[in-house]
Amino acid sequence: MELFNIVVIGCKFMCSVLFVMLTELFVLVSELFASVQTLFASASGVFPSVSEVISSVNYVFAPVSEVNTQVSEALASFSDLFPLVSDTFVLVSDIFAPVSDVIALVSEKLTVVSEYFLIASDAQALLFVIPLALLFDRLLLDPFGKFHPIVIFGNVIAKGEKILNKGRYRLIKGGVFSVVLIITTFLLFTVIQIYIAKLSFPLLIAVNTFLLFLAIALQTLVKEVRDVFYVLNRQGIDAGRKQVARIVGRDTSNLDSKKIKIAALETLAENLSDGVIAPLFWFAVAGIPGVFTYKMINTLDSMIGYKSERYLFFGRVAARIDDGVNFIPARITALLMLMVYPSKRVFKSIVKYRRQHSSPNAGYPESAMSGILNCRFGGPNIYHNKIVDKPYIGTNDKEPLINDLNLAIRVCYGATIVFAIIILITNNL
């Protein structure tokens, strides 16, 4: 609990420091532009004086020889030039004035944003938002269908990928596309939060509860995995293959009964981290903007983060960013599962198999679940018409039963509740 508190406080501190540094930077740049503006204004006053001096020199040398007359004419030309230079400096000074005002405005807005992040995960707000969001998730399934934010994210990603993922420079195009979507999502939800916070704090709590409920997918995940077991037992192998294809990326056309169940349980373990623990973690760190920025990153990875020929370059940046934002939540998930189901076998499984996965993160929750159920995950599977030989996680090559499914679901609920309690306690200390 202390470790989690330190991690969350550290992340919050980094976010706050980042925005404070940006604010100070813009203030400094604003002052710099103001100084430049003053300098140009002073310079515009100096050059007319220089012009007058040169005119006086011209007057003195005029009566002299023909050579001096030519020099005088040259100096007179320079005398005409200096007022033009002076006017140029005045013009540049006028140009910098609005730039300075814009920077001052941006600095003010960043100050507002940094203040928001100081209250985004306010203990009082978390006390209401997290329990209510989890309660709604338990009682309701995801509403809205095609109007769900994650569905909208997916539609935008699909259209952008169709337009950009062709020709040359796919790595650059995919990287820019991903970063633009991520930044836009963060700014959009930040603006929404600031606007609602100005209207009413109770309204902010209500909206945040609803949005966090939309971002958490525990009940939907549990239902989908249960349906795989139910359909397989009631309707047979072909129906089971079609059902599990809804929640996995591998080719399911040749899976037998055991592999169908293993695929479903692997998805349950991995998505406990991606769909539940990680959103709660990022909500504790950066509020609703943090949650939906994470969901955009996760959606990008789930759609274009593959190593197939089509997505190898276009989705590489998105996949790396996803690895980064899931680094801490994946390890927290494994620890939570061990807390809910304390066992030497689970601990040894995590230690031994946590890195036995192509993902730097998925191996943690999967190794924990493998130890809890005493079964074996991984092995060869077909992805995008290619055989991918994943390392095995666990040694007991058994076929999971309905009791294993129920145990896995209880662990997922337990880990979620424990994590919610830890967040609430650490934010109220």
Q: In sequence order, what DSSP letters do the residues of 309-330 get, joined into one string? A: TTTTTTTHHHHHHHHHHTHHHH
Residue ranges of the chain with per-residue pLDDT less than 70:
1-126, 143-144, 428-429
How does pLDDT run across 68-115, given as a tens digit for each residue? 555 456 545 545 555 554 555 455 456 555 655 655 555 555 555 555
How does pLDDT run across 109-165, given as a tens digit for each residue? 555 555 554 445 455 566 789 999 999 999 887 766 778 899 999 999 999 999 999
At 309 the pLDDT is: 87
Q: Which residues of 387-410 are buried (b: 16+ CB within 10 A; e: fewer)?
A: eeebeebbeeeeebeeebbebbbe
At 46 the pLDDT is: 45
Rounded-to-integer distance, Cα 425 and Cα 419, Å: 10
Domain assignments of the chain as residue spans, ordered by start: 2-112, 121-428
- Helical segments of 236-358, H only: 237-244, 257-272, 278-304, 316-325, 327-340, 344-353
At 274 the pLDDT is: 95
- Helices then strands (H, E): number in the chain? 15, 2
At 95 the pLDDT is: 59
At 89 the pLDDT is: 47
Residue 231, both tokens: 């359909």
Rounded-to-integer distance, Cα 268 and Cα 409, Å: 8
- Pick from 102, 114, 132, 153: nearest CA to 303: 153
